[in-house]
Structure 1
């Protein structure tokens, strides 16, 4: 008995030791439960629609529910801050436009959730980029940048519509004003939809917007695409000149959509998600969906998202401080 007992204990210990790695790996398999994908804006917009497209595809790939949860308010900072404070285990993710980089900078103190857009999140994948356009009512006579500047200086045009104070479109409007030496006044709306309605109707002469929501009105001849605020012409509207071509230098403002998580996510979880999302981005139906939103698919490593987020935070942050842009 005394000889067999140590042998039995040794054998049991060996079996337990061999079983631990397999059991440990099984416990750490990702994902092993539902994933929440937070969208910081209401249902119905481009960000929400694209998030749901990706969620459906990701769910099919990982075999776990991926549930879109809209947590809105305070220019998107409520939902963003919720993710920043979540456990960094890969089960709470954020799908966000580039407003995440600037929203904390344009909010009045005490009106929104606070987070550092450069340190509070783990970048996962840049989904796509969007160009911003200067759009005018077809009957306004504003067919070129020169027309806009001349009309502003003569007092024939005094304002422009935007989807809201502190938005990228508002930032673009202030950069345009400064570069052109004019002072058009922003008229903020609660989102792009109402602003577009008023420009199409001729109640407002012009606005700054992404292409997707206005493409049908341009094709119908109700709106005119005056210029694009990119370094190069957009492949989606190659006949529309850049602001630089029109003589306004360094007036470039773009938009993007991307996936992030809380700070400190495990590298292997980030790699898993990045791999799945890049594969989803290659799907023809996903690319077709993005085309209707005038989004150019991006993808790539997390570093690409980190780079553009930092660039927008620093570049647009400078404009915000210099011009005193604040959200409503």
Structure 2
């Protein structure tokens, strides 16, 4: 009996050690540089956002933040690198919400062996932008209702997107269904050539993130027709959503998320979340995000988890309904 009691005492004595160990990990974190992987080329929106936030995070955490670009396979190459990294908080993924669309639209030949919900731990959603419907001025329309009226008379007008399976492609298909109109999808190899052809009037309609087209709208080279969002954007509050104009179920959304490899200690995730949120509350951060046509978001890891799950499920249904696939 004495031996049994001694064994039980030793076992019970070990139990409280788990929590202090986790907290010790968080207290000591970070003890070396943190790498943020971006699955897109340098100079693009994800890269700019990651570098700006990384610089401010480094100042708070006392360690360098290294941003590494690993473009390819619709961002999945970078995501795969993070999923395979040690689950210690020193390797993070900075990704747009297209991260949650890619698995639904990529062909099997892409050979992406990744579960975007199960292979990662959500950290924080730093910011959001806005998706909008725009047209060339020569089309003669000034809002979504006028576009629909024109499409009723001239069905099959073309709309440009950065590629098949892109959020812009999905937005176009949702609008076609909601408005009961027909438009011809013209996919390009990226945002730049799609916008260039719309600016040139070769294709008259496109969807784009607000940051890509804002300067052209201000200069009168493009006309803003409506936001493809659930609510108006503070970045352009005068522009109504497509739903406000009578076309529901047309919202797509554009936001960024930070993710860590599955198995990253909760205490480390929580510390990263606190530090990101502290950076997002800085007035200078909000000002710099506004320059990129983004607004601070923030919130808890659970907030991002709910957003990611809802987005993944929603896009899965849409892609299946419209039989959408990537180029």
After TM superposition, the score normalised by the length of structure 1 is 0.89
1:235 is matched with which residue? 234
Task: Identify if the C-alpha distance between structure 1 residues 279 and 26 changes in structure 2 by more than 3 Å, giving closer, same or farther.
Answer: closer
2:256 corresponds in structure 1 to: 257
CA drift of 1:103 comes to 0.4
Distance (whole Å) between structure 1 residues aligned to residue 152 and residue 25 of structure 2: 69
Q: TM (normalized to structure 2)? A: 0.89
Deviation at 1:189, TM superposition (A): 2.1
Structure 1 residues 131 and 185 mapped into 2: Cα distance closer, same or farther (>3 Å)?
same
| C-alpha distance in structure 2 between counterparts of 1:255 and 1:176, whole Å | 17
Question: Post-superposition shift, 1:313?
Answer: 0.6
Q: Which runs of 5+ in 1 are unaligned?
A: 1-20
Deviation, 1:26, is 8.5
Quote the Cα distance in structure 1 between the aligned partners of 2:185 and 2:44: 22
Output aligned runs, 1:112-261, within 5 Å: 112-155=111-154, 158-261=157-260
- CA separation in 2, counterparts of 1:151 and 1:27? 59
Structure 1 Cα separation of the partners of residues 149 and 26 of structure 2: 67
State the match for 2:280 in structure 1.
281
**1:63 Cα deviation from its structure 2 partner:** 1.9
Is 1:143–1:226's contact at 8 Å kept on the other side of the alignment? yes
Cα offset for 1:157?
Answer: 5.4
CA displacement 1:29-52 (0-9 Å, x = unmatched): 211122111000111111100100
Deviations 1:96-133 (A, max 9, x none): 00011110110010214231121111000111122210
In structure 1, the residue matched to 2:4 is: none
- 1:47 corresponds in structure 2 to 46
Check the 8 A contact 1:124/1:305 in 2, yes or no: yes
Distance 1:170 1:111, change over 3 A: same
Q: In structure 2, what is the Cα distance between the partners aligned to 1:256 and 1:167?
A: 14
- Structure 2 CA distance for partners of 1:26 and 1:263, relative to 1, 3 Å: closer
The unaligned stretches of length 5 or more in structure 2 are 1-19
Q: Post-superposition, which runs of at least 4 consecutive aligned residues in structure 1 deviate over 6 A?
A: none
Greater Rg by CA: 1
Shift of 1:178: 1.1
Distance 1:320 1:132, change over 3 A: same
Structure 1 residues 25, 316: CA separation in 2 closer, same or farther (over 3 Å shift)? closer
CA offset digits 1:251-290 (Å, max 9, x no partner): 1110110111111110111111111111111222221121
Deviation at 1:156, TM superposition (A): 6.3
User: Aligned partners of 1:230, 1:173: CA distance in 2, in Å?
Assistant: 13
State the alpha-carbon separation in 1 of the partners of residues 138 and 157 from structure 2: 16
SS of the residue 2:255 aligns to? strand
Q: 1:249, 1:28 → 2: CA distance?
A: 48
Aligned-partner Cα distance in 2 for 1:78–1:232: 32
* Partner SS for 1:235: coil
Q: Please tell me whether the aligned partners of residues 38 and 93 of structure 1 are also in contact (alpha carbons under 8 angstroms).
A: yes
